[in-house]
Amino acid sequence: EAGVTQSPTHLIKTRGQQVTLRCSPISGHTSVYWYQQALGLGLQFLLWYDEGEERNRGNFPPRFSGRQFPNYSSELNVNALELEDSALYLCASSYTDSRLAGDTQYFGPGTRLTVL
Amino acid sequence: DAKTTQPNSMESNEEEPVHLPCNHSTISGTDYIHWYRQLPSQGPEYVIHGLTSNVNNRMASLAIAEDRKSSTLILHRATLRDAAVYYCILRVIMNYGGSQGNLIFGKGTKLSVKP
């Protein structure tokens, strides 16, 4: 069974630019989560999509947005990039029903974004 | 959400058992105890979870105190590949089938394994 995949693996952008990161969940999973892991700040929750809708967002400005497609894949968009957006962006997927698989989340390898 | 407390770091020798503690004194009856780990330069991976009884799987064992205020993740024979940050997280399994949503990660315990 294929795991969660993310693209691209690495990305270098300059301040003010926009970036789109992509995530494909495990087959059968309908929930997708985005997390940011900046150096020294730990894993911070960004966004949760389920069945095509945004269910929750973390404490991030509106320039962080995303969407989930009918095939449950997801995009994370970041506008007006700032230096502090440099981080590893992780996507995870799970079943919507937490009774399945113990509400386990499966993570992709991440996209490393560097903002210069 | 109920909070967990873990030591910042621990060291182990290769091929020896490792006991990683987690305190969760405000745990509620519906909270499951989950463990994830994050190897260097990788996304976190699920390790194990449990409610009341001790649990075993191919990766580790989870020992849960009788009062559920603490738990211990046990790696029976540490390998160099087990060097990672280990996170203890409380999750509610929804009886109606919903999801609690995102995981809330603390700082975790950084495990170093010496050859």
pLDDT tens figures, A7-59: 999 999 999 999 999 999 999 999 999 999 998 788 999 999 999 999 999 99
CA atoms of A90 and B39, how far apart (whole Å): 14
pLDDT tens figures, B68-85: 999 999 999 999 999 999
Burial class of residue A62 (count of CB atoms within 10 Å of its CB; 0-12, 13-18, 19+):
exposed
Q: B102 to chain A: which residues are within 8 Å by CB?
A: 33, 35, 45, 48, 56, 58
Instruction: Give chain B's length.
Output: 115
| pLDDT for the residue numbered B6 | 97
Structure tokens at B33: 């105890």
Structure tokens at B66: 């009788």
**Local structure of residue B82 (DSSP, 8 states):** G
B89, B35 contact by CB (below 8 A): yes
A95, A39 contact by CB (below 8 A): no
CA atoms of A99 and B96, how far apart (whole Å): 9
Q: B90 to chain A: which residues are within 8 Å by CB?
A: none
Structure tokens at B20: 């990683």
Q: Is the pLDDT of residue B1 over 60?
A: no
A64, A46 contact by CB (below 8 A): yes
Instruction: Give the SS3 label for residue B111.
Output: strand
A101, A80 contact by CB (below 8 A): no
CA atoms of A97 and B2, how far apart (whole Å): 21
Indicate which of A107, A111, A112 best probes the interface with B, i.e. most B CBs within 10 Å of its own CB: A107
